[in-house]
């Protein structure tokens, strides 16, 4: 009998329309503040799945949020948080200084304790994009798709 009731409720238009919503309403996405100077705020992401060349199988994409200048850093396929930090300092901080804000997705290489401690020591802020909302880091995602198309 239970199966019959469930089948009826699943196909009943009135039952579906009057069904109580138990989920919290989704809020509006908040836009990121516009940086005031170049390299004050950057967005970062990884692209992987490339054929390995000399132990390099992924690319770290770093985009300046003000000028849209992008840097592509070749990295090992399974680069650690510490390795990412080393590459970030070698290719970004060395030339443009330490950004005040870094926007990234919730990749474990960005949420690792090493990164959190590093940002605490340096006085920078790491901002994570919203889960399941890649459009909050859309600028980097756009550069990712362009790079994948070129390659």
- Supply the CATH number for residue 62's domain: 3.30.420.10
Helix (H) or strand (E) holding 16: helix 13-17
| Total tally of structural domains belonging to the chain | 1
Residue 30 lies in a domain: no
Residue 34 three-state SS: coil
The mean per-residue pLDDT over the stretch 59-72 comes to 92
Residue 18 counted as domain residue: no
pLDDT bin (cut points 50, 70, 90) of residue 20 is low
**Residue 115 and residue 32 in contact, taking contact as beta carbons nearer than 8 Å:** no
**Burial class (CB within 10 angstroms; exposed 0-12, middle 13-18, buried 19+) of 128:** middle
* Residue 53 falls inside a structural domain: yes
Q: What is the mean pLDDT of residues 12-40?
A: 77
Write out the residue range of the structural domain in which residue 81 sits: 41-150
pLDDT digits (tens, 9 = 90+) for 70-107: 999 999 988 887 888 888 889 998 999 988 888 877 66
Is residue 3 in some structural domain? Answer: no
101 in a structural domain: yes
Torsion, Cα of 46, 48, 50, 51 (10° steps): 120
- How many whole angstroms separate alpha carbon 133 and alpha carbon 71? 23
Q: Could you report the per-residue pLDDT of 116-145, keeping only the tens digit for each?
A: 767 776 777 666 555 445 555 566 667 667
128 domain-assigned: yes
């Amino acid at each position: 009998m239970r199966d019959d009731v469930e089948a009826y409720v699943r196909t009943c238009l009135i039952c579906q329309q009057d069904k109580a919503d138990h989920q919290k309403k989704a809020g509006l996405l908040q836009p990121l503040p516009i940086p005031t100077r170049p390299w004050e705020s950057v967005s970062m992401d990884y692209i992987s799945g490339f054929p390995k060349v000399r132990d390099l199988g992924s690319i770290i994409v770093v985009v300046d949020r003000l000028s849209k200048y992008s840097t592509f850093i070749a990295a090992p396929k399974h680069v650690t948080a510490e390795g990412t930090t080393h590459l970030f300092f070698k290719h970004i901080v060395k030339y443009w200084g330490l950004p005040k804000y870094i926007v990234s997705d919730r990749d474990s290489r960005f949420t690792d304790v090493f990164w959190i401690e590093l940002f605490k020591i340096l006085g920078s802020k790491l901002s994570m994009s919203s889960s399941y909302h890649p459009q909050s880091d859309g600028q980097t995602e756009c550069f990712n798709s362009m790079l994948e198309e070129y390659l």
